[in-house]
Chain A
């Protein structure tokens, strides 16, 4: 017996665990992404509030500065100030504007003081916090081309310069608010022209402190970028004022950063993904773009922290799930082993039974499930099989006995039939030969011949019992015995048949009958008397060799009805004439196509057998019948009897 390549237990466990695992992981994955989305929504909400609040604080500071600048510009436009005595005002503005650390007024060429190209009173906080004063402008400081002067001068609008590092202290970031003021141009029409630019310096420390103070979870942070996405506030201090998203996009070869930069320059506010390159880990950012200056305030939250809790829960779920799978696997293997162990016993027993060992007991299975039922059915089958085989053995023995008895019966039956040898005791005035081939072990056909009354008369007969097999054989034996016994006392064939008929009809409950044709030949005179009880007509071959049917008076079969008359027909055989008696086994022999051998074929055949010895004639007829039947089963007993009348001794010479 082969070991199964994949046991049921393993297959069952595999299919179950894979199915359950698929469901589990799909569910977990979906759950993870759903919870992630919820977390992301919360984070966005939190980040939005925080960013807006921070942006609001920065805007408030910047607005304060812008407000002071605009107020100063407005008062300068009204022309109420003496350009040469601006220091107290500038000091007061610097002091009173919390976010400003310096203020200056720079005039157009010669606008403040005739003949003087530059005039730029400037008050600023010195390194020690004291307010200091200087006058801007000169050959080495041509402020007219400075962005903070030129741009508001050209546009007429206020302008926030990009943050720049203080020349005195690179760590101090400064930006400048500048706004133009007008002056009456002295013409009568009251038109005004540009008077100059008011500037307020803002140290960004307080703004960046506001941004730096932003805390989101543990590692989230706030940031501030310039309009060109240059870093003003960012955890990596090396990047401050040096790098921008665009420069990092080039240096780190991360086009995503450039896309982010352009998005921040265009989108007022939003929640987006931060390219991994910036923090070396995935993160989200929320940003708000300030209206003026166009800086970007935002917060960054690393995904690690954002999704940390979810991930921890998911890890736990996965661990529990994995342990669960192992337990499930074990349980399934255990259950399926429980199922397959008795099956293995059954397999062994079945193998034994297949080898014929029906005494092999079934393994004891007490379970009430299908396996138990299977085992019980299997055992029932084994017992039934055993009984059946016992029966079969007995039947076979009985059959063998019957067959052997039939063989004996056949021998006995055959021994009833006279043999050729018995004729040799007669004067050889006649040649006679008969063959009988029963369809079964024993048959219902019979032939007979014997001499009567001093050996000069020959009795011969052919008969056919209506049935076959043992009953027919017995009936045939009875008929033969009766004929023989009666023929001893009665020389007339018709009378013999009448008496035999009556004897057979006595107590013939079986309803069997027999066709019978008999004749008595006087060997000296050639006188022949014949009687027929429902048998096939015989064939006669005249001396000239022509074969013809011998017409006999009809008579009823023997054993059918009592007191039936049977006519005795008187004939005469000339020396050399021959007779052929046969049973319907010859003429009704069928080939596989169900054609019958037929009387025409028989008479033709008989005609061709002219001049042959009687033994050869019977053999030829038997052979022709056998050849005609071919593969078809022999349906009936076949009997042929051939007789050649030689005539008295003189006739033979």
Chain B
């Protein structure tokens, strides 16, 4: 993955413009909707259903926001868009955010959405990979951008697989080119199911279950954005949480919203895939009482992620403390 160079070019014109816009908004009260560019970290899919629902329900507009959910391609990470200031808000995995921090980009987590890891190492049941130990010497594909968690797993179990950089999906696994590959429970596992594989024909090693899972989707902004536009960020988070709750409670409507974006972007997915994805996400997002938990990042997750990074790739900078990194704009459970 290409990370932006630590010294991001300072663009004074942009900041002047922003301040000007801000002052205009403040002057006009709520008559003007405040523009907010949101960068999801993947192509349109149910992983972002809550944001689509909030937008379609008009909850961003009601909060005085003019939210623009930016398109995304597999070759252009959300972290770069945030770092370059091309997005005001980005959805990132915790590790991606830490990498940005280590690269000197002062991102802060304003809401943690997915508290557990959805990542697994998947193989076929007939390939005898049932536990992490079985990965030793096997050909394992893993995403470069998520390399740390499997790497931690390999180290923890003292196995040395042949690591292959993973493309976007699990075709390499299906074709037999690799013995195991990484997958998210909500996307690639669903894809495998929709390719005709029954759950019992697959074997999965969950990273969360083996102690190397990290918190995933969170809402990130640059520290400066939070300082300059705290109300807008808070309004966005509040409306988005509401959107998520609504999406899980009204899955058909949520999938409609997703499919609309899918069709706009010509993604070769289908409703079944997005419905199943939302179903898996619901299980990942929801507490046992069927509600979203408070969008607060667990300090242990933060520490653990840092330790992992430090051990595996080394940190260039002294990590900021939890309180600096995690600035929850809402710390209660959404209603």
Which residues of chain A have a CB within 8 Å of any CB of chain B?
139-142, 144-147, 150-151, 154-155, 159, 161-162, 164-165, 170, 227-229, 241-244, 246-251, 258, 261-262, 265
Contact = CB atoms under 8 A, between A and B. Distances in A.
Nearest to B269: A242
Identify the 3 closest CB pairs spanning chains A and B, nearest first: A250-B272, A247-B272, A154-B177
Contact of A150 (B164, B176, B275): B164
Contacts of A146: 167
Contacts of A242: 268-270
A236 to B, nearest CB: 13
Given A243-B272, A250-B194, A262-B196, 8 more contacts: A140-B76, A154-B177, A155-B175, A155-B177, A159-B175, A162-B171, A165-B268, A244-B194
B2 A250 contact: no
Contact of B270 (A142, A170, A251, A261): A251
B272 A150 contact: no
A609 to B, nearest CB: 123
Interface string B172-202: 1001111000000000000001111000000
A272 B283 CA distance: 38
A145 B167 contact: yes
A147 B272 CA distance: 24
Contacts of B171: 147, 151, 161-162
A278 to B, nearest CB: 14
A258 B198 CA distance: 10
Contacts of A251: 270-272, 275
A451 to B, nearest CB: 142
Contacts of B276: 250
Contacts of B167: 145-147, 150
Contacts of B195: 227-228, 244, 246
Contact of B172 (A142, A151, A170): A151
Contacts of A241: 268
Chain B interface main SS type: loop
Contact of B266 (A155, A161, A165): A165
Interface residues of B, number: 29
A631 to B, nearest CB: 100
B75 interface: yes
B326 interface: no
Contact of B196 (A142, A147, A246): A246
Nearest to A250: B272
Contacts of B75: 140-142
A261 B196 contact: yes
B272 A154 contact: no
Given A147-B172, A150-B164, A250 B275 contact: yes
Which interface residue of B75, B175, B268 has the most chain A CB atoms within 10 A? B175
A532 to B, nearest CB: 131
Interface in B250-278: 266, 268-273, 275-276
A608 to B, nearest CB: 120
Contact of B175 (A151, A164, A261): A151
B139 to A, nearest CB: 7
Nearest to B263: A242
Nearest to A151: B177
Contacts of A151: 171-172, 175, 177
Nearest to B166: A145
A139 to B, nearest CB: 6
B287 interface: no
B262 to A, nearest CB: 9
Contacts of A244: 194-195, 270
B169 interface: yes
10 contacts: A140-B75, A147-B171, A155-B177, A165-B266, A228-B194, A241-B268, A242-B270, A243-B270, A246-B272, A251-B275
A485 B237 CA distance: 162
Contact of A228 (B166, B178, B196): B196
Nearest to B178: A154
B249 interface: no
B165 interface: yes
B131 to A, nearest CB: 24
Nearest to B275: A250
Contacts of A139: 2
Contacts of A258: 196
Nearest to A253: B272
A154 B195 CA distance: 22
In this complex, which of B172, B178, B272 has the most chain A Cβ atoms within 10 angstroms of its Cβ? B272
A144 B177 contact: no
Contacts of B275: 250-251
Given A150-B167, A154-B172, A242-B268, A229 B139 contact: no
A155 B176 contact: yes
A164 B268 contact: yes
B238 to A, nearest CB: 33
A249 B195 CA distance: 11
Contacts of A229: 196
Most A CB contacts (10 A, CB to CB) among B177, B193, B271, B276 go to B177
Contacts of B266: 165, 170
Contacts of B178: 154
